[in-house]
Amino acid sequence: MTKVNVKLKINGDPYELAVRPNRTLVEVLRDDLHLTGTKIGCKTGDCGACTILLDGKSVCSCMTLAIEAQGKEITTIEGVGLSYDKLHPIQEAFVNEGAVQCGYCTPGMIMSAKNLLDKNPKPTELEIRKALSGNLCRCTGYARIVKAIEVASEKMYNTQK
Amino acid sequence: MNDTKTNNNSLIGQSIPRIDSPSKVTGKAQYAGDIILPGTLYGKLLLSTVAHAKIKNIDISAALALPGVKDVIVGKDTPCIKFGNWRLFPNTQDELPLAVDKVRFIGDEIAAVAAITPEIAEAAIALIKVEYELLPAVFNIDDSLAPGAPLIHDENKELTSNISLDRKIDVGDIEQAFKDADYIREDSFLVHPHSHAYMEPCATIAETDAEGRVTIYTSTQTPYIVQCLLASTLGIPENHVRVVKPAIGGGFGGKMELRTWEFCAAFMSRRTGRPVRFVLTRQEELEIGRRRHGMKIKSKVGFKKDGTIVAKDFEAYLDGGAYNSMGPTATFLCGNFGAMLYRYPVYRYRGYHVYTNLPPSGAMRGFGAPQAMFISETQMNMAAIDLGIDAIDLRIKNAMVTGDKIEGVTTISSAGFVESLEKIASATQWKEKKKNLPPNKGIGIGCYSFISGGVFNWFNTQYHFSACEVRAYDDGTAHLFTMSCDIGQGSDTVLRQILAADLGILPNMIRLTAGDTAMTPKGDLGTWGSRVTLMNGNAILDASKKIKNELAKIVSVKFNLNVIHDVAFADGRVFAKANPKYGMTFGEAVTMWVKMNRGEELTARGVYTPRDKGLTTPAYSFGAQVAEVDVDPETGVVTVEKISTAHDCGTVINPLSVEGQLEGAIQMGLGYTLCEQFAIKDGKTLNTTFLDYKVPAAEDMPQIVSYKIDTYEKEGPFGAKEVGEGLVIPTAPAIADAVFQATGYRCKDLPITPEKILKSQGKI
Amino acid sequence: MAIPNFNYLAPTTLKEALTMRVSHGAKSSIMAGGTDLLIKMAHRNHHPEYVIGLNCVADINYIRYNAAGNLAIGPMAKLSTIMDHPDIVSHFPALSHSSGVTATVQIRNMSTLIGNIVNASPSADNATPLLVLDASLVIMHEGGEREVPLHEFFLGFGNSVMKPTELIKEMILPMPGKNSGSSYQKISTRSKVDIAGVCVSAFLTLNDAGVITTARIALGSVAPKPIRVPQAEQVLEGQKPSIELFRKAAALSREEAKPISDMRASADYRKAMVEVLTIRALEASLLIATNKTH
């Protein structure tokens, strides 16, 4: 049960480190690589604070072994926006629409929103709400998060046209 | 943020996006659990597995021997100083950082470990052996008060039962008043405990400098309270403790006390000389986190035939769990809230805070009000039917209005309650809808009122209730220091908005430092009781006024203004109001002031203490909410379709934030009413994951609409009052009333479950 | 609690995985999506010394027709793929529905259909649809393969006929005949995103005369394992569908349900809901079978 060398590709960057097989991806991201944008809210896959994209699909990084994330494209919140002035349209909409309160669920919410909009650029309100089934928020009542995703969809859709 | 033109008070009422949002959407915001310092040790707590027992022996030898373990502590290693937020009454301080002789609930903290990795800390905890001598335990109010029940705090010789504290209110002659009543409504209710379920589990990291001073980064909404209590439990001067509040992932009242892990981190960092960190798991949070008080309430209200209330007799037993925590305040407030909303000419309250062998209840959003008002609102709805008066009309008849007084307790300095009721009635077409309800549909109402910060001084602070410091700089910027904590409610944005509006500069010209006891003004009690906007807002206006006074002198001298001239602050300028060309930029004015004062820095302290504002609060919010539901007649499943709210929070400083508070409160209120419930068996919490402690998801939320009632609160900054907590109150009674309309099931025992509905209908 | 450590084995073929399984037996666990296994390990309900990850096995996330014209589903086919797969949507509506309401988006992106079944949880969303769809599992063992009908697979809570030295190769869904319909009905009393307090699936095939030739009903969360209700099925077969008939079948379902009370629902409530959901599942299946939906 010794450590195993793993190679992870995170936000396009190569990382190589030795981990024990029981280490989850969120632990490696936060503790080993100091990518603390991905949050831990439950560690049982119920709250979605740790949501990241694995090969473009949203998953709970608390339920993913780091060792199994090898060879896959890992996208975390740090890989979504470039800087404070170059936010992704989803991030920008979250700011402007008041979708952020305490902010602890926010990175996971944004990853789930991206998972949705990448597949379904013009979702209905119900589709958005269903797409957030795995992300709990205790502050906002979700209303402004849903609105932000609608606004982002609008903006991204028009931009793409 | 690219602010456009700013014109003085036009900033008030603007939906300025949160100043902390960009850091949160990029994942850059740092929460306590994100901080790791060089050499950090990882802490873990050993929790009691039994509900009530004497500790006979604790063997830590195997844990200490485990390689990588740097420290193991038990209660006896600590100074054994009790703590609690009610410093004014030392006897109410009943908690030790780690249990010494006894454990009182499953989860009571017994020992702590600090190790070089979290895994080693966890392994070490498993090696600690505790010998218990089991004691009989009680898990509900009735058993706790039964003759012969075990005394949970037998060390407190002043207590003869498990009632740790009581509170009485007597206004008028209650016996006579009920004799005069034409109709008396008397009911018993049970309301259940409720988890804050903030998304960020509590986290803390403490380090100690070479002289033994502690710095602790911790998820708290009350840094000053943590500073004081941590210093006293460590036995060191307050000034040797620095509490820093990083980003906070929600609090809702659940992060406003000193908690064991904060003590242990600090204590072990002093012993080891290394930073010590604790991060709670969600399981621990749901097992030992504070919660809203479950209560057993009896309420009797007398009416005249025409609906006029003549008296109310209100009796509440609060299930406090094993320690007082914030329970005494809840006991006090529950009685106050029982007397709110309507004019009760005669009122009696008896409140009892009862110890049980359950996890302690504490402060939670609404703090005594959701329980008290679930009862008063439900009884109003029941009385309306019996009296044959529309539920809204009955409320309007009895509603509190501006200027009303509760003798010796409080004055209602502004109330938009009647207006809220009228607005919600028309906006929802209340009467028409109620008359023409389709099968299985219901519409119901609930109302609320809440305080804008407390007047009560249980923490026994010598300092002002709220304080800030403003520093103005020659580059046209300012720096605001405040102990108020943004825990997600948006106070950093709103406070900056208030200062910017008053100084006439752009919000992004203001640097804000909040919640660092080594830097931010002493004494401010932090974030609770919906106090920040009113109390800290007033403190900020106080400081701003002092700064403006100084700068007005500069402009006055420079332009030789006649003394009758008023000096205005807008668009980043300071100028003669009647003749704006006599003026200069804010920065130029500060520069001249500094020169004039031979290099001094232009700073001002602002304070606010609610003096002569009664016993409760300087200002109350009011509102009315209507819920529309659909109930599946076969399964009993309730779908809340729409929630409409008319509310009075005085002047709205930031509409985006106000709406966010409302929507969030509805989620919490909906959960409280329909799906959130602790499953506890023999004192053990069974649902310790979000899979089983069910908070509403995005799909569970109704359509939400809101109407703002215009009032101006003279006690508040720019006329503002509270909006953070009160809105969580009306949802339970409104939904319960709607469910009654749809099904005939009248809930007196929260939460409402499909099963209770079907049972009441005889369907199962 | 942290997940205890283990040896991670990464076979690249199912055959290799089987060899590992045979040599480590009860000390090993198969990990597909991992969402159930890791929770069990974190809660110390399961302590494998070896975790055999199927992550590196190529081409086992398939959903395809086999030579017999039945649908074969590989061990790494994820719920998020199942729910939207056109063949499953059109021929196995109960399954496309159940997979679409299992847990959350993220969990569906991780979890596999076979994993959801192999855990033998009585409340597994996909168990009752697969029972009524007459699914079977192809189990690999040292000596070869065997095919086990799903209704013989479950033994009890968390317990199945699969041995620690075995491995699931794939799941087979027989193609329903024409005039067939299936439906999954679930009650979550607390939230739209919740474990089923009770769930019921039904499957009906009608002949051209409109007589029910095949009926299957399965119940979840009402017994230690997901169960079929042959008594109710027999009442339906050979009859023309009617609401009275469905009520009769539903009453029999209710009788066969032996639920317990727990924090999600009481036994009384569950029993009553079995009846309600059985009728709903039969009605929905009938609509599909008679082509009155789509």
Q: What is the pLDDT of residues C199-232, one digit of tens each?
A: 999 999 999 999 999 999 999 999 999 999 999 9
Rg (CA), chain C: 19
pLDDT at C11 over 90: yes
**What are the two backbone dihedrals, phi and then psi, of residue B632, each rounded to the nearest 5 degrees?**
-65, 120
pLDDT at B3 over 60: no
Q: Are B537 and B716 in contact (CB under 8 A)?
A: yes
**Percent with pLDDT over 70 in chain B:** 99
pLDDT score for A159:
61
Q: Are B555 and B567 in contact (CB under 8 A)?
A: yes
**Does the bond joining B733 to the residue before it have cis omega, within 30 degrees of 0?**
no
Range(s) of the domain holding residue A143: 89-160
How many domains, in total, are found in chain C?
A: 3
Please indicate if any CB of chain C lies within 8 Å of the CB of B714.
Answer: no
Q: Strands, DSSP E only, in C50-127? A: 50-53, 63-65, 71-73
Q: Per the CB < 8 Å rule, is B663 touching A83?
A: no
The residues in A 70-109 lying below 8 A from B, measured between CB atoms, are: 76-78, 80-81, 83-84, 87, 91, 94-98, 100-107
- Output the six-digit token pair for B102: 């006894």
Report the chain B residue with the minimal C-alpha distance to residue A105: B199
Q: Are A155 and A89 in contact (CB under 8 A)?
A: yes
User: Residues C24, C27, C33, CA angle at the centre, nearest 5°?
Assistant: 95
Q: Strands, DSSP E only, in B412-496? A: 441-451, 466-472, 478-482
Question: What secondary structure, in 3-state letters, does chain A show?
Answer: CCCEEEEEEECCEEEEEEECCCCEHHHHHHHHCCCCCCCCCCCCCCCCCCEEEECCEEEEHHHCEHHHHCCCEEECHHHCCCECCECCHHHHHHHHCCCCCCCCCHHHHHHHHHHHHHHCCCCCHHHHHHHCCCCCCCCCCCHHHHHHHHHHHHHHHHHHC
CA distance B574 to B551: 7
pLDDT score for A81:
83
How many domains, in total, are found in chain A?
A: 2
pLDDT score for A2:
84
Q: Once rounded to an integer, what is the mean pLDDT over residues B246-272?
A: 98
- Return the minimum-mean-pLDDT range out of B69-78, B390-399, B408-417: B408-417
- Return the minimum-mean-pLDDT range out of B133-137, B256-260, B291-295, B461-465: B461-465
**Which part of chain B is CATH 3.30.365.10?**
8-30+465-608, 291-456+614-760
Residue partners of B402: CB distance under 8 A and separation at least 6: B412, B413, B414, B415
CA distance B568 to B470: 18
Please indicate if any CB of chain B lies within 8 Å of the CB of A125.
Answer: no
- Nearest-CA distance B574 → chain C (Å): 55
Q: Select from B200, B249, B698 the Cβ nearest to the Cβ of A132.
A: B698
What band does B408 get if pLDDT is binned at 50, 70 and 90?
Answer: confident
Residue partners of B682: CB distance under 8 A and separation at least 6: B51, B137, B139
User: Alpha carbon C266 to chain centroid distance?
Assistant: 23
pLDDT at B354 over 60: yes
What band does C294 get if pLDDT is binned at 50, 70 and 90?
Answer: very low
What band does B363 get if pLDDT is binned at 50, 70 and 90?
Answer: very high
Instruction: Flag whether A74 is in a domain.
Output: yes
Q: Select from B30, B36, B668 the Cβ nearest to the Cβ of A138.
A: B668
Q: What DSSP line would sit under B41-85, residue for residue?
A: EEEEEEE-SSSSEEEEEEE-HHHHHSTTEEEEEEGGGS----B-S
Instruction: Flag whether C46 is in a domain.
Output: yes
Instruction: Flag whether A67 is in a domain.
Output: yes
Residues C107-117 as b or e (16 or more Cβ within 10 Å = b)? bbbbbbbbbbb
CA distance B690 to B688: 7
Q: Are residues A110 and A73 in the same domain?
A: no
Q: Are residues C82 and C146 in the same domain?
A: yes
Residue partners of C86: CB distance under 8 A and separation at least 6: none
Q: Per the CB < 8 Å rule, is A49 touching B199?
A: yes
Instruction: Flag whether A84 is in a domain.
Output: no
CA distance C129 to C216: 10
Other chains touching C, judged by 3 or more CB pairs under 8 Å: A, B
Mean pLDDT over the full length of chain A: 95
Against a cut of 0.90, is the pTM above it? yes
pLDDT score for B347:
96
| pLDDT (tens digit per residue) in B7-44 | 446 899 999 999 999 999 999 999 999 999 999 999 99
Q: What SS3 class is residue B380?
A: helix
> Strands B410-411 and B405-406: what pairing?
antiparallel
| pLDDT (tens digit per residue) in B419-441 | 999 999 999 999 999 999 999 99
Q: Are A33 and A10 in contact (CB under 8 A)?
A: yes
The topology under which CATH files domain B291-456+614-760 is Aldehyde Oxidoreductase; domain 4 (3.30.365)
Q: What is the largest CA-CA distance in chain C?
A: 61
Q: Are residues A11 and A72 in the same domain?
A: yes
| pLDDT (tens digit per residue) in C98-133 | 999 999 999 999 999 999 999 999 999 999 999 999
Q: Are residues C203 and C241 in the same domain?
A: yes
Q: Are residues C114 and C210 in the same domain?
A: no
Residue of A64, A65, A109, A118 to mutate, interface with C, max C Cβ within 10 Å: A65
Mean pLDDT over the full length of chain B: 96
pLDDT at A161 over 70: no
Q: Once rounded to an integer, what is the mean pLDDT over residues B236-248?
A: 98
Residue partners of B436: CB distance under 8 A and separation at least 6: none
| pLDDT (tens digit per residue) in B718-754 | 999 999 899 999 999 999 999 999 999 999 999 999 9
Using alpha carbons, list the distances in angstroms from residue A29 to A77, B75, C51, C137.
11, 35, 22, 37
pLDDT at A85 over 80: no
| pLDDT (tens digit per residue) in B121-167 | 999 999 999 999 999 999 999 999 999 999 999 999 999 999 999 99
What band does B643 get if pLDDT is binned at 50, 70 and 90?
Answer: very high
Q: Are residues A10 and A36 in the same domain?
A: yes
Q: Per the CB < 8 Å rule, is C106 touching A134?
A: yes
Using alpha carbons, list the distances in angstroms from residue B501 to B267, B536, B741, C238.
44, 15, 47, 80
Instruction: Flag whether A48 is in a domain.
Output: yes
* Nearest Cα residue to B633 out of B470, B745, B504, B528: B745
pLDDT score for A160:
53
User: Residues B665, B671, B673, CA angle at the centre, nearest 5°?
Assistant: 100
- Nearest-CA distance A161 → chain C (Å): 27
**Which part of chain B is CATH 3.90.1170.50?**
32-135+197-288
Q: At C45, which CATH number?
A: 3.30.43.10
Q: Per the CB < 8 Å rule, is C195 touching B691?
A: yes
CA distance B637 to B691: 19
| pLDDT (tens digit per residue) in C77-92 | 999 999 999 999 999 9
Residue partners of B635: CB distance under 8 A and separation at least 6: B754, B758, C187, C189, C273, C276
Please indicate if any CB of chain C lies within 8 Å of the CB of B755.
Answer: yes
Q: At C193, which CATH number?
A: 3.30.390.50
pLDDT score for B9:
64
pLDDT score for B42:
98
CA distance B713 to B648: 10
Q: Are A77 and A113 in contact (CB under 8 A)?
A: no
Instruction: Flag whether C147 is in a domain.
Output: yes
Instruction: Flag whether C109 is in a domain.
Output: yes
What band does A83 get if pLDDT is binned at 50, 70 and 90?
Answer: confident
> Strands C198-206 and C167-173: what pairing?
unpaired
CA distance B301 to C132: 57
Q: Strands, DSSP E only, in B696-763? A: 703-708
Q: Are residues A10 and A39 in the same domain?
A: yes
What band does B4 get if pLDDT is binned at 50, 70 and 90?
Answer: very low
Please indicate if any CB of chain B lies within 8 Å of the CB of A38.
Answer: yes
Domain boundary among A54, A79, A104: A79
Residue of A42, A53, A74 to mutate, interface with B, max B Cβ within 10 Å: A42
The one-letter amino acid code at B401 reads: V
The topology under which CATH files domain B32-135+197-288 is Aldehyde Oxidoreductase; domain 3 (3.90.1170)
Q: Are B504 and B6 in contact (CB under 8 A)?
A: yes
What band does C293 get if pLDDT is binned at 50, 70 and 90?
Answer: low
Instruction: Flag whether C252 is in a domain.
Output: yes
Instruction: Flag whether C58 is in a domain.
Output: no
pLDDT score for C65:
97
Q: Per the CB < 8 Å rule, is A45 touching C35?
A: yes
Residue partners of C101: CB distance under 8 A and separation at least 6: C125, C184, C186
CA distance B422 to B43: 55
Query: Above 0.95 for ipTM, yes or no?
Result: yes
Q: Once rounded to an integer, what is the mean pLDDT over residues B658-672?
A: 98
Q: Residue B763 burial by CB count (10 A; 0-12/13-18/19+): exposed, middle or buried?
A: middle
* Helix or strand run (H / E) with residue B541: helix B537-558
Q: Are residues A118 and A72 in the same domain?
A: no
Q: Once rounded to an integer, what is the mean pLDDT over residues B554-578?
A: 96
Instruction: Flag whether A135 is in a domain.
Output: yes
What band does A84 get if pLDDT is binned at 50, 70 and 90?
Answer: confident
Q: Select from C1, C189, C193 the Cβ nearest to the Cβ of B754.
A: C189
Instruction: Flag whether C269 is in a domain.
Output: yes
Q: Are residues C68 and C169 in the same domain?
A: yes
Domain boundary among A59, A79, A99: A79
Question: What secondary structure, in 3-state letters, does B76-107 show?
Answer: HHCCCCCECCCCCCHHHCCECCCCCCEECCCC
The one-letter amino acid code at B340 reads: M
Question: What secondary structure, in 3-state letters, does B296-335 show?
Answer: EEEEEEEECCCCCEEEEEEEEEEEEECCCCCHHHHHHHHH
How far the first Cα of chain A sits from its last, in Å, is: 53
CATH number for the B8-30+465-608 domain, one of 3.30.365.10, 3.40.50.720, 2.40.50.140, 3.40.228.10? Answer: 3.30.365.10
- Nearest-CA distance A158 → chain B (Å): 22
Q: Per the CB < 8 Å rule, is A57 touching C80?
A: yes
Q: Are residues A63 and A99 in the same domain?
A: no
pLDDT score for B679:
96
Residues C165-194 as b or e (16 or more Cβ within 10 Å = b)? bbbbbbbbbeebeebbbbbbbbbbbbbbbb
Chain A residues in contact with C34 (beta carbon < 8 A): 63-65, 68
Q: Residue B682 burial by CB count (10 A; 0-12/13-18/19+): exposed, middle or buried?
A: exposed
pLDDT score for A1:
58
Range(s) of the domain holding residue C151: 63-173
pLDDT score for B15:
96
Chain C residues in contact with B122 (beta carbon < 8 A): 1-2
CA distance B348 to B168: 7
**Percent with pLDDT over 90 in chain B:** 96
> Strands B41-47 and B680-681: what pairing?
unpaired
